[in-house]
Amino acid sequence: MRQFAVIGSGPAGFYTVEALAKAYSGTARIDLIDRLPVPYGLIRFGVAPDHQSIKAVSRRYDKVMEDEAVRFVGNVAVGRDVAIPELLDLYDAVVLATGAPHDRKLGIPGEELPGVVGSAAFVGWYNGHPDFADLDPPLDGANAAVIGNGNVALDVARILSKTRAEFAGSDIVGHALDALEGSAIREITLVGRRGPHQIAMTPKELGELGHLEAARPHAESADFPPVEADAALEPGVRKSVTHLREFTAMSADKPKRIAFDFFARPVAIEGDGRAERLIVERTMLDDSGASVGTGETYAIPASLVVSCIGYSTPPIDAVPYDDRGGRFANVHGLIADRLYCVGWARRGPSGTIGTNRPDGQEVAEQIVAAMPEGGEKAGGEGLYRLLAERGVRPTSFADWRTIEAAEIAAARAGAPREKMVRHDHWLATLGH
């Protein structure tokens, strides 16, 4: 009987477990280990709360947990409660699926001012991540700036713009919903260093901005190349650019505005004891399509600045790390003998949720091909003994079902659940 450990219960972790369970049908035990007492990772804490159809992928992951060979081991932090060398002693192979939960720095003066937050923190705040439950972002000013031209930036701008009624059916946490309802923000500027043809925003998410109750999007027609140039774009990008062109002509008949500021590179954040303005340099595209500065600078008023420029994977002791890439050093998912990585921990924060599935399959195939003959490892039973010696109390998938039932019972009208946002609340629900 083979013994495998997968660290991280987000999409990459679940797809890897699914692939291993299929490859070793009945001849392996697989432990899915997470530092939080609850599963799903990015699905629970990263996907926008008003995108419930995307979160529904968790039902597929639930099917994975029905396999008797698979066990969820929550509330166990690798690197704190147990070390990688210890796991390699206990398991035939260890797969790191820890994602990229840390915000990348802007690298500009003033980014440490109060009022400047990363998207991982801000998204975690409104999605109920315990690390960010006390974030308390400043919503008392009229202006916010969101740095980035991807879907995360769109999520942040949309969440800042919605009315309370528009969150019906979502699982946004109560403390964020109440704070956003009282927000004074009326102008949200989306800042991107390149132009409309270079955005990473997808059509569906862009199209949503055109249907908000209290906010309307706006783009400047001068930022666009001639419309004939759109024909050379990939179909998805072309559809996104079509939405942006429509935003140039939308009427200003709503109290909030989402302004797209293209060809703008952040160079500093200024303010007296807190963020008050974002200083940007006007850019242009050179012959290679790269963004270059023009030397012209201007200020965008902003008492809240949310940086959505990417994420990095936190290092773990005894695991080789690629500082430049912000991920584990690996070759096609292989880090070292019997140690692998998948998902964002492997390739950086790119792709969709579904992109993680072939990652998991590829690494599972590598594990099968590389697995030597040998004696049986202690696996999960050895892990549980080690954790008991250290006073660590793991949670199970049955424990998660207990927590889930309590969250569903506490839901406000129309919402699927009211998430618990603190470790002690989760553990108290289990009687720990």
CATH code, 295? 3.50.50.60
d(CA 393, CA 381): 14
Closest by CA position to 345, among listed 96, 152, 103, 104: 96
Judged against a pLDDT cut of 80, whether residue 374 lies above it is answered with no
Q: Residue 317: is it exposed, middle or buried by C-beta count within 10 angstroms (0-12/13-18/19+)?
A: exposed
- Higher per-residue pLDDT: 26 or 245: 245
Tell me the mean pLDDT in the region 248-270: 95
- Residue that the structure tokens 């979502």 belong to: 170
Please give the biggest Cα pair distance in the chain.
71
Residue 263 and residue 302 in one domain: yes
**Boundary (domain end) residue, out of 268, 291, 307:** 307
DSSP SS3 for 333: coil
Look up the domain containing 136 and give its range.
105-307
Tell me the mean pLDDT in the region 100-117: 96
Residue 346 and residue 424 in one domain: yes
Computed over every residue of the chain, the mean pLDDT equals: 95
Structure confidence at residue 266 (pLDDT): 98
Tell me the mean pLDDT in the region 254-279: 97
Residue 316 and residue 189 in one domain: no
Question: Residue 404: which CATH number?
Answer: 3.40.50.720
Q: Which of 53-57, 194-198, 334-338 has the lowest mean pLDDT?
A: 53-57
Residue 238 and residue 323 in one domain: no
CB atoms within 10 A of CB 431: 7
Question: Mind listing the pLDDT tens digit for each residue in 49-101?
Answer: 999 999 999 999 999 999 999 999 999 999 999 999 999 999 999 999 999 99
The model carries a pTM of 0.94
d(CA 245, CA 196): 9
DSSP SS3 for 274: coil
d(CA 121, CA 111): 14
Question: Mind listing the pLDDT tens digit for each residue in 288-333?
Answer: 889 999 999 999 999 999 999 999 999 999 999 999 999 999 999 9
Structure confidence at residue 178 (pLDDT): 97
d(CA 384, CA 33): 12
Residue 48 and residue 167 in one domain: no
Residue 90 and residue 110 in one domain: no
**Boundary (domain end) residue, out of 276, 307, 338:** 307
Number of domains in the chain: 2
- Joined together, the tokens standing for residue 367 give 């594990």
Residue 391 and residue 349 in one domain: yes
CA dihedral for 100, 106, 112, 117, sign (positive or negative): negative
Residue type, 330: N
Tell me the mean pLDDT in the region 367-391: 92
Residue 272 and residue 147 in one domain: yes
Structure confidence at residue 256 (pLDDT): 97
Confidence band for 354, pLDDT divided at 50, 70 and 90: confident
Question: Mind listing the pLDDT tens digit for each residue in 200-221?
Answer: 999 999 999 999 999 999 999 9
Structure confidence at residue 67 (pLDDT): 94
Residue 294 and residue 167 in one domain: yes
Question: Mind listing the pLDDT tens digit for each residue in 132-177?
Answer: 999 999 999 999 999 999 999 999 999 999 999 999 999 999 999 9
Judged against a pLDDT cut of 80, whether residue 13 lies above it is answered with yes
Residue 220 and residue 318 in one domain: no
- Sequence-ordered list of residues with C-beta below 8 angstroms from that of 70, at least 6 positions apart, any chain: 17, 21, 30, 32, 64
DSSP SS3 for 3: strand
Structure confidence at residue 216 (pLDDT): 97
Structure confidence at residue 355 (pLDDT): 86
Residue 23 and residue 144 in one domain: no
Residue 279 and residue 299 in one domain: yes
Structure confidence at residue 26 (pLDDT): 86
- Sequence-ordered list of residues with C-beta below 8 angstroms from that of 396, at least 6 positions apart, any chain: 71, 72, 73, 74
Structure confidence at residue 413 (pLDDT): 93
